[in-house]
Amino acid sequence: MSKNLIVGAGFSGAVLAFLIAEKLNEHVIVIDRRAHIAGNSFDYRDNNNIMIHKYGPHIFHTESEKVWNFLKPFCDFNQYMHKGYAIVDGIGISLPFNINTLYKIFPKTLALRLEEKLLDKFKYNTKVPISEFKNQDDKDLNFLANYIYEKIFLYYTIKQWGVTPEELDNSVTARVPVLIGRDDRYFQDKYQGIPLEGYTKLIENMLNHPNIEVILNTDFSQIKESFDKIFYTGSVDEYFNYEFGQLPYRSVYFKFEEKNCEYYQPNSIVNYPCNYDYTRINEYKHFLNDKSDKTVIAKEYSEFFEAGKNERFYPIPNTNNRNLYNKYLEKAQSINNVYFLGRLGDYVYQNMDKAILRAINLFEDIYHQ
Ligand code: FAD
Ligand code: UDP
């Protein structure tokens, strides 16, 4: 029987495990150094019966029918459509910054003038990354661009990444583009929602297969057997013993508070782009509309990853880090039958749907399925 080892029980590892077990009818061992499955998407119900996302709020959204159809047998989703919300100078505004936001912030005459100029310059519903939006010749639009850059992006990015937006790939801030439209949703993807029984259950269902054996609390370094194929979703620099140096990551930590009220804030996530040390406050019960007299919030803080102190959360996308990663990639491609994937294995800032798609595509490439 073929021997397959998957390192990491997050989405990347679980999807591959399922495909190998089901489509190839091969045995798969999945290990994770943590005490639970589901990687950073791990969630659990607390003593108030509120579903908590332990490693930060996770909202599923995708344009990919392939991913959506793949997930369907493992869970049902609700119809949660996230609306971004931020507090700027004490005013609650919608995010991404859109035409509605203009009217929340500015006097009506100015908002009208800005709207007219925006619609003159851009097609309705265009999404413009702030890195592009900053290049405005018109005086009013230049004022608006500076306002959005400073109030929404600059300080939030410094808090989140420890550097300014210019020191990162533009793709980072482009995740939250300026929207020349009135759609208040954070994502415009065709498919959106939260798994009704949570992400952990979804992944448990994927791993619940007679050909799959899950072993928790086990680090790859503890594995002494040899395998025909290894799929590694941990950090690629760690695999190679940091031969070329450490790949930098941001880590995140949460200060949880239980509140004696039904709701603390109007939204599941409220961003604080200008004030406070935390980036956002998450209130989890909004996602599944959990009923409880109490609520749980988490203030989210960011810091650099340091091995042994905290966990890797976000690869930091910039040219230097990509060059360093490329050295590991070259080395990874030179060894047979060890495949790297996932947020950590590919060193890529990717959402759950992209991690799932990458795992499906890798399976199809290797096995010509
Ligand atoms: P992970 O979930 O990180 O899983 C990797 C697993 O490998 C971990 O469990 C780890 O313990 C294990 N591992 C690593 N090294 C070893 C080793 N040496 N031995 C054994 N085990 C090991 N995506 C969205 O689509 N929507 C969102 O709203 C969203 N919000 C997010 C918020 C935050 C704060 C963060 C950090 C991420 C968010 N994401 C979101 C992204 C999402 O978490 C990832 O896309 C997804 O978790 C990637 O899955 P993965 O399996 O590649 O990695
Ligand atoms: N961002 C920002 N202000 C905000 C929201 C986002 O500056 O209010 C920037 C910031 O650099 C952040 C990036 O846009 O890291 C991506 O935001 P997103 O909400 O997608 O971050 P995630 O949920 O992945 O942490």
Per-residue pLDDT tens digits for 179-192: 999 999 999 999 99
Instruction: Give 330's pLDDT tier (boundaries 50, 70, 90).
Output: very high
Mean pLDDT, range 21-44, rounded to an integer: 98
Per-residue pLDDT tens digits for 211-263: 999 999 999 999 999 999 999 999 999 999 999 999 999 999 999 999 999 99
CB atoms within 10 A of CB 46: 15
Residue 8: φ, ψ to 5°:
110, 125
CB atoms within 10 A of CB 56: 17
Query: Is pLDDT of 369 > 90?
Result: no
The predicted pLDDT at position 312 comes to 97
Q: What residue's CA is closest to ligand 2, atom 10?
A: 157
Mean pLDDT, range 258-277, rounded to an integer: 97
Looking at the whole model, is its pTM more than 0.75?
A: yes
Q: What percent of the chain has pLDDT over 70?
A: 99
| Candidate from 16, 40, 192 with most ligand 1 atoms within 8 A of CB, to mutate | 40
Residue labelled with tokens 């992209």: 354
Per-residue pLDDT tens digits for 82-98: 999 999 999 999 999 99
The predicted pLDDT at position 76 comes to 97
273 lines ligand 2 (CB under 6 A): yes
Mean pLDDT, range 136-164, rounded to an integer: 97
302 lines ligand 2 (CB under 6 A): no
Superfamily of structural domain 2-79+196-244+315-367: NAD(P)-binding Rossmann-like Domain (3.40.50.720)
Nearest to 70 by CA among 359, 311, 305: 359
CA–CA gap between residue 261 and residue 251 (Å, rounded): 30
34 lines ligand 1 (CB under 6 A): yes
- Give the domain ranges of the chain: 2-79+196-244+315-367, 84-179
Instruction: Give 201's pLDDT tier (boundaries 50, 70, 90).
Output: very high
The predicted pLDDT at position 2 comes to 64
174 CA to middle of ligand 2, Å? 9
Cα 251 to its chain centre, rounded Å, is 13
User: Which ligand is the nearest neighbour of the Cα of 352?
Assistant: 1
